Structure 1
Amino acid sequence: MTALTRAQARDLIQGLSHWTRGYAPLPGAADELIGTDGTPRPAWARLAEALGPMSPGDLARGFGSAERHIREVGISYRVHGEAADRAWPVAHLPVVIDAAEWRAIAAGVAQRARLMEALLAEIHAGGEAPDGAPPAAAIVGSPNYLRPLVGVAPPGGRHLSLYAVDIGRGPDGRWWVLNDRTQAPSGAGYALENRIVLSRVYPALMERLRVQRLAPFFAAFRDGLAALGAREEPRVGLLTPGPYSETYFEQATLARYLGLPLVEGDDLVARDGSVYVRTVSGLKRIDVLWRRVDGDYCDPLALDARSRLGVPGLVAALRAGGVAMANMPGAGAVEQPALMGFMALQCRRLLGEDPLLPNIATWWCGEPAAREEALGRLDTLAFADAFVPGPSTLGAELDAAGRAALAARIRARGVDVVGQEVVRLSTTPVWRDGRLEPRPFSLRVYAAATPNGWHVMPGGFARIAERPDARAVSMGEGTLSADVWVLADAPVARVSLVPQERIRRVSGHLPSRAADDLFWLGRYLERAEATTRLVAALAAARLEGGEGGPGDETVVRLEGLVRSLGAVPEEEEEEEDAGEDGDPVGEGADAAPVAALPACDLARTALDDAAAPGSVAASIAFARRAASHLRDRLAPQAWRLVADLSPGAPPGEEAAASPADTLDRAHALLERFAAIAGLVHENMTRSDGWRLLDMGRRIERGLAACRVTGALAGAGATSADLDALLDIVDCQITYRTRYLFGPAPAPVRDLALIDPNSPRSLAFQAERILEHVRALPRLHEDGLPEPPERLAAALARGLAIADAATIDAPTLAGFEADLADLADAIGARYFPRGAAAARPEKLSGLA
């Protein structure tokens, strides 16, 4: 694509006048669409040329597709202090930068990364500070300065593996550094998702415009992580704070994209100078950890004892060189605003170079001269915490009392305050109500350390302010993110992260925590389905005329079963004994008892009441929580199906109380459970994770078979009881094709419990569980079965020789106890905690 002249660019932009009508840059701010000379920037003109043929309808369809993708995949983030996730807000238009300008930005970012690495090496070397070094107070005052890491040589030779910097274009057109991110830079995964979203809005457009791809950056970063390890094929993991992290979705995205296991502190154990991950195959050594946990939370023994996110003994393993970390704990000691004013001098001192990207002017008030300068400019500077990046206060917006209080604070503890020049950020076009409007933005750019130097991501992501106020220090988080398109001068080669290596048919080792979550995801989903089947049977029985009284024994038994599962709130009975004044005796006598639920409400309550631990709503909530811990392992379709599960009425409608409506809702919910089961059965690779998920389902299905059979096929069972049982275990058609007579206890018990060909029978579950435990990894090579296998085999053998005619309540209770013991044995073997974890005896210390 040849370069456009200014006149051609102007003509192209004018061709989009239905977009740009009324568009004007903000006073005193640069703009990404309109250059300082009042003409369109060439990069935006190229985008305008490509967008010209697209009609408003085409754009609307593209925007709709992007928004559906965000909902379906569940792209989200969490604001600190909030429990619920928010949908990730993606702008419909990218920020566009041409190749020449990006080369200058990339060179400045790479230089800044080299400077940060050199400064960190000097800080952690220990000893006296050399001449020209930043004041010690500007470093050790940071909460990210970790004294136990001083003198620890970073395994792999680097303090930084990933560096990020927030930059903004000032009114003069130059790019300025706003913040450094060295602690545990976030957002690279969101940059990746932004690119995927925009590719749906503008299919084939990026290739036409020669937008540089992100895959080479991530491939280089992955190679850089691997280079930190001491082994030829090191095991690399992403250390996450867990699903309650504000950016957990992004961490899961990156782990899945890069092929790294996502591990939490509880998944790891430090032992003998190395770090191991607990897996269903035992302890496996991990060589490199990409850290997304704050540095001081990494080790509760050596650092912050309050931490529940780290690994006890991790710092000792770092000292021993047994594990490498990216980034090293303590790397955040150079990202505080207090150091910003010293960076130009440090660049010349440590690198012998002038800075290519200048800082916004900063005065650290811990120095007398800078403090007096800041006090003399209270009405023109912005003031912020010197050690924790965050919101700032504009002196010009304070009244006399506020300004006096600020001055007193600076004089008393100037070391904690910085003054910064108020920089007006440039604006970028944002699509609003069918037209373009300018909004201020900042750009986050990433650099990855590789064996061949620093590799800068060609793009990043932009944060765009909702309001047109373009002061950098008051912009805050912004309300939109945007993809960043760096346009190349030549065609861009397609690059994939899929390596060209030998074929493998084995999965990576499954961490015990993920195995636990998969097992319980299966249990909760099956538990919710079993209760839904009971609700459907109860509603159907009511439709046939049952009133819940003594005359309708089937309804009474079903209601009792629902209550026994804890699917409805427990009833409270008044004490028969009374005091002298006739009041009930005992604690809580003044409180009104919970009345027994009316017969018509019990089934609906079992569906909807999340306060009852055995209700469908509660089981779904537990399943959703387990699934949220598995975002890196669940396909987007599976996550969406689980996340969208709800026993409630459609949005905007109240749940009706009639048996017919309850039955309809139960049947609709059963269809959703069937969809999830089908996805699991047809789409999941038969890995250890799939086996544990399926084992969880089988345990719960076996327990449900015992309970419903005991309630409906015991002594005195009626034809209606047996008919309801056949509905619950989904064997009506099978029974009628086998038998010419109506339901009889022994044949029904046979189908529900011991027929190995009935998919809902207890025997079928026992055989599948036995197959799974025999296929799962073993710890010992002595040829003896492990406890889960012994228990599963005993249960399967017992069912194989059972006689349906003689199965009674004690027999069923024994089967239930066997299943409970089996579940406990599975947990003890595959989900160990603490000292319970062990290494396979056949593997060496480098396992």
Structure 2
Amino acid sequence: MLGPAPGNASSAKARRLVEMTAAYRPLDGVPDEFIAADGRPRGHWLEFFDKMAGLGSEDIGRRFEVIERNIREQGVSYRAYGETVDRTWPLSHMPLLISERDWAVIEAGVTQRAEVFEGLLADLYGKGELVSDGVLPAAAVTGSADFLHPMIGVTPRGGKYLNLYAADLGRGPDGQWWVLNDRAQAPSGLGYTLENRLNLSRAFQSIYREMNVRRLAPFFQSFRGGLASLASRSDPRICLHTPGPYSETYYEQAYLARYLGFVLVEGADLIVRDGLAHVRTIAGLKRADVIWRRIDADFADPLELRGGSRLGVPGMVEAIRQGNVGVANALGAGVAETPALLGFMPTLSRRLLGEKLILPTIATWWCGQAAEREYVLERLEDMTVGPAFGASPNHSSLSRSVIAGELSEPRRQKLAASIRERGADFIAQEVVRLSTTPVWVENRLEPRPFVLRVYAAMGPDGKFQVLPGGFCRISDRLDSRAVAMGEGVQTADVWITSNRPVEMTTLLPQNDAVAIRRIMGNLPSRAADNLFWLGRYLERAEATLRLIRCLARRTIENEDMSQEGAATTQRLRKLLSDWGAVPAKPPTPPTPLGFLNSALFNIDEFGSAVSLARDSKRTASVIRERLSGDTWRIIVELCKQLEAGRGPLDEPEILERADVALEEIASISGLAQENMNRVAGWHFLEIGRRLERAVNTCRFVRQFGMEQARATDFDVLLDLIDSQITYRSRYLVGVAPYPVRDMALLDPYNPRSVAFQTQRLTEHIGALPLLRHDGMLEPPRRIAIEVDADLATKVASCITADFVISVERRLMGLADAVAIRYFLQGANAARAEKQVGLA
């Protein structure tokens, strides 16, 4: 079949280009990225839309859907400040395009600004000449809570204070790029920048390649090398210190740790011993050479900084003081973000570098100076007024910036009185509307305000390198003056386009001098703990689902209304009640259907199927850097399956929902078996699963397989341990007590038996590292071997209820022994006399 003639194809493309761009109108008096000040489209934007038009509207729509689906499946998420529920990452379908010419100015300006702040920090925590010479008022520095007195006179390891700096930029009314804010405490957004690039470049691969977009990998290679250069060892252990899973940007922290090969740690994972920082691992304390912190500096050490901090590590300041650990950014670097300093930046640049600022800052006045204060008060209605020392000033009544002209007259008078009384607590800035960029809204392009965050990292050569791109936030409000990640905000990938082909680079090393390594011995105790409990929660959810399915089948079939059958059904209900799947004492006795719906969907009961699935997801979210994308997607789908359309369902629907959930749990187990490396993390996941399965099977046997059991009970037991087919193939007669007990408890070839679990537990625990090297068995291995030996030497005819209870209790004791030995948290982690190989 012949396609359209070339002329017709070209004409259709031109028509689509006009349809796409003709209606686009910049906002009056606001600079725009697509349309220049002379009213003409910028060339690189026109080239991009021309290539987009060549795809066709249907193809564009499909690519947009791919972007959104990938974001959902990958679980890319964030939290707005103060929220506890993750939001799906809001990625714009359009990139922000910046030409080489514009980028050259931004790159030079951000580099210069980073150098100014590096010099500023070195002086403030060193000689203090800027204050003593009158270049900076002392109050503009000491008024900031981020100026840390314990760090005065402390030179960071490597001699640099800023390893990562970021500047928030916008195009000013004169068409030039202006700096809106500086980020030096713990700049966020790098991980999301990578995710944005990954998704946009995949969706528009040909356009991305043809427009010669500059690559991000060299920046991350330089940043990683810069951090490694802070260590004294050639193969350092670099840790990313996260505030934890409740951080607004925990997803990107886990993503960056995985991408860069860093160890993701929380404060409880770290300990300072003899002036050295260590990670608490399952193999004992391991030296932490470099720590990239994502917590605010004053939380880093409760001994010398913020006393109530539970995020930091006691003794960290002393370890830094002795030069035994590199911390990026240096503690105290956050003072560079102080808004009061913005007005002094031109002076600081001339003093420290002998240069004029390349990127101007929005005109800023610190009201701690008499002349500046009076200037602000005279023009208050035309100013934006904010706290001089960040969002939590010591005395200011303002927690965020306000436009004075938009306040009521009484509030404006009150603000003016506060400025007169305590001027040092306030800054004032010009009111500037942000520039706009094209955004795809309901099948058309519209302008939206944006803020561009650009990053500079200290490389191994001691020089700053700027990321060729950035983190762009776009507001849906046309009059926005600032953009924070909250409701109605999108992000966009940032493309620095070039007229020349760009070099293809990755994070792969450029030589063959990398030592081959197959086993990592630095699994943090917290990660091991969470992997262990992920296995337990998944297995617990499976057991609960099997009970629900078994009860639903008997309710549907109504196969045995005898006293014996009713007693079996009652035992199923009692076990679900004892496990916390349903209320122990409901206000009114539930119907059989209500009971099943509650056990499956009741989020208020800790033992319900949906609650256990949520526990699995919560635990998995803490160790996402150690799970494959497929595993995470299935865990998310498991939760959705049990959360969607909660009741009341009828019995067949309940059966179907339970079957699908069980298939998803089986998929997770299959991925763990086939895709996880057989290293410590996999062993702990398996230990959790095997322990939980063994304990649950013991409980099943006690309920449905002992002296009081009847034929219907044994039949239920075979269902619960998924062994009906195996039993029928072995025994031609019906269910009999001894064969069923043997299959459930003692059969080493049945993957559902207790004996099979204890064999695997002995193997997994035996593969874990030792703390003692005196030839004595450590408690977890000793208990596992004892229980396994008892089961291996037992015969079915001698099994009693007391024996089953004994096995169950010893398995629970084994779980406690594993926790005590490997999950070193709190005070019990400090066992220096037993630690070996503090490498």
Same fold per superposition (TM over 0.5): yes
Counterparts in 2 of 1:807 and 1:495: CA distance versus 1, 3 Å? same
Q: For 1:110 and 1:641, how far apart are their aligned partners in 2?
A: 43
Matched, 1:636 2:629: yes
Alignment partner, residue 467 of structure 1: 477
Counterparts in 2 of 1:478 and 1:730: CA distance versus 1, 3 Å? closer
2:125 match: secondary structure: helix
Q: For 1:216 and 1:401, how far apart are their aligned partners in 2?
A: 54
Q: Where does 1:297-446 land on structure 2 (aligned, <5 Å)? A: 297-388=299-390, 391-446=400-455
Which of these residues, 274, 279, 282, is aligned with residue 280 of structure 1? Answer: 282
Residue 644 of structure 1, CA deviation: 2.3
Alignment partner, residue 573 of structure 2: 559
Alignment partner, residue 111 of structure 1: 112
Paired AA for residue 433 in structure 2: R
Alignment partner, residue 776 of structure 1: 768
Q: For 2:833 and 2:289, how far apart are their aligned partners in 1?
A: 18
Deviation readout 1:62-91 (Å, 9 max, x if unpaired) = 100000011011111101111101111111
Alignment partner, residue 200 of structure 1: 202
Which of these residues, 551, 556, 560, is aligned with residue 543 of structure 1? Answer: 556
Matched, 1:38 2:52: no
Q: Which moved more, 1:599-608 or 1:787-796?
A: 599-608
Query: 8 Å contact 1:609–1:618 — kept in the other structure?
Result: yes
Alignment partner, residue 588 of structure 1: none
Counterparts in 2 of 1:393 and 1:842: CA distance versus 1, 3 Å? closer
Alignment partner, residue 743 of structure 2: 751
Alignment partner, residue 727 of structure 2: 735
Counterparts in 2 of 1:528 and 1:626: CA distance versus 1, 3 Å? same
Q: Where does 1:745-824 land on structure 2 (aligned, <5 Å)? A: 745-824=737-816
Residue 208 of structure 1, CA deviation: 1.1
Q: For 2:66 and 2:485, how far apart are their aligned partners in 1?
A: 29
Deviation readout 1:792-816 (Å, 9 max, x if unpaired) = 1111101000111121110010000
Q: For 2:200 and 2:299, how far apart are their aligned partners in 1?
A: 36
Alignment partner, residue 487 of structure 1: 497
Counterparts in 2 of 1:24 and 1:604: CA distance versus 1, 3 Å? closer
Deviation readout 1:123-149 (Å, 9 max, x if unpaired) = 111556331431111111112111111
Residue 471 of structure 1, CA deviation: 3.7
Deviation readout 1:372-421 (Å, 9 max, x if unpaired) = 00001112111111111574211221232222112111101111111101
Q: For 1:842 and 1:658, how far apart are their aligned partners in 2?
A: 57
Residue 267 of structure 1, CA deviation: 0.3
1:185 match: secondary structure: coil
Q: For 2:194 and 2:567, how far apart are their aligned partners in 1?
A: 60
Q: For 1:119 and 1:548, how far apart are their aligned partners in 2?
A: 85
Alignment partner, residue 503 of structure 1: 516
Which of these residues, 658, 662, 665, is aligned with residue 666 of structure 1? Answer: 658
Q: For 2:723 and 2:691, how far apart are their aligned partners in 1?
A: 19
Matched, 1:694 2:686: yes
Query: 8 Å contact 2:473–2:484 — kept in the other structure?
Result: no
Q: For 1:525 and 1:77, how far apart are their aligned partners in 2?
A: 25
Alignment partner, residue 533 of structure 2: 520
Query: 8 Å contact 2:16–2:56 — kept in the other structure?
Result: no
Residue 654 of structure 1, CA deviation: 5.0
Q: Which moved more, 1:631-640 or 1:750-759?
A: 631-640
Residue 614 of structure 1, CA deviation: 2.0
Matched, 1:530 2:543: yes
Alignment partner, residue 582 of structure 1: none
Counterparts in 2 of 1:842 and 1:817: CA distance versus 1, 3 Å? closer
Query: 8 Å contact 2:98–2:495 — kept in the other structure?
Result: yes
Q: Where does 1:704-723 land on structure 2 (aligned, <5 Å)? A: 704-723=696-715
Residue 42 of structure 1, CA deviation: 2.0
Deviation readout 1:580-631 (Å, 9 max, x if unpaired) = xxxxxxxxxxxxx733333343232222222222222222222111111112
Q: For 1:473 and 1:775, how far apart are their aligned partners in 2?
A: 51
Alignment partner, residue 19 of structure 2: 18
Q: Which moved more, 1:599-608 or 1:305-314?
A: 599-608
Q: Output the aligned Cα RMSD.
A: 2.0
Query: 8 Å contact 1:77–1:85 — kept in the other structure?
Result: yes
Q: How many residues align?
A: 814
Alignment partner, residue 594 of structure 2: 601
Q: For 1:334 and 1:259, how far apart are their aligned partners in 2?
A: 29
Matched, 1:241 2:243: yes
1:241 match: secondary structure: coil
Q: For 1:219 and 1:193, how far apart are their aligned partners in 2?
A: 17
Counterparts in 2 of 1:455 and 1:378: CA distance versus 1, 3 Å? same
Q: For 2:195 and 2:460, how far apart are their aligned partners in 1?
A: 27
Query: 8 Å contact 2:299–2:309 — kept in the other structure?
Result: yes
Alignment partner, residue 574 of structure 1: none
For normalisation by structure 2, the TM-score amounts to: 0.94
Q: For 2:412 and 2:484, how far apart are their aligned partners in 1?
A: 18
Paired AA for residue 297 in structure 1: F
Query: 8 Å contact 2:641–2:661 — kept in the other structure?
Result: no
1:624 match: secondary structure: helix
1:212 match: secondary structure: coil
Alignment partner, residue 58 of structure 1: 59
Alignment partner, residue 91 of structure 1: 92
Query: 8 Å contact 2:170–2:177 — kept in the other structure?
Result: yes
Counterparts in 2 of 1:116 and 1:352: CA distance versus 1, 3 Å? same
Deviation readout 1:555-599 (Å, 9 max, x if unpaired) = 12222222222222112xxxxxxxxxxxxxxxxxxxxx7333333
Counterparts in 2 of 1:767 and 1:91: CA distance versus 1, 3 Å? same
Residue 839 of structure 1, CA deviation: 6.0
Q: For 2:567 and 2:483, how far apart are their aligned partners in 1?
A: 72
2:457 match: secondary structure: strand
Q: For 2:408 and 2:787, how far apart are their aligned partners in 1?
A: 78
Q: For 1:167 and 1:318, how far apart are their aligned partners in 2?
A: 33
Residue 21 of structure 1, CA deviation: 2.4
Q: For 1:552 and 1:376, how far apart are their aligned partners in 2?
A: 86
Q: For 1:421 and 1:127, how far apart are their aligned partners in 2?
A: 30
Residue 472 of structure 1, CA deviation: 5.1
Q: Which runs of 5+ in 2 are unaligned?
A: 1-11, 392-398
1:24 match: secondary structure: coil
Alignment partner, residue 586 of structure 1: none
Residue 488 of structure 1, CA deviation: 2.3
Query: 8 Å contact 2:469–2:496 — kept in the other structure?
Result: yes
1:444 match: secondary structure: strand
Query: 8 Å contact 1:126–1:150 — kept in the other structure?
Result: no
Counterparts in 2 of 1:551 and 1:261: CA distance versus 1, 3 Å? closer
Q: For 1:205 and 1:722, how far apart are their aligned partners in 2?
A: 64
Q: For 1:107 and 1:549, how far apart are their aligned partners in 2?
A: 85
Matched, 1:256 2:285: no
Which of these residues, 607, 611, 621, is aligned with residue 618 of structure 1? Answer: 611
Residue 439 of structure 1, CA deviation: 1.1
Query: 8 Å contact 2:601–2:643 — kept in the other structure?
Result: no
Counterparts in 2 of 1:360 and 1:604: CA distance versus 1, 3 Å? same
Q: Identity across aligned pairs (percent)? A: 50
Counterparts in 2 of 1:413 and 1:22: CA distance versus 1, 3 Å? same
Q: For 1:821 and 1:462, how far apart are their aligned partners in 2?
A: 52
Q: Which moved more, 1:17-26 or 1:319-328?
A: 17-26
Paired AA for residue 349 in structure 1: R
Query: 8 Å contact 1:429–1:437 — kept in the other structure?
Result: yes
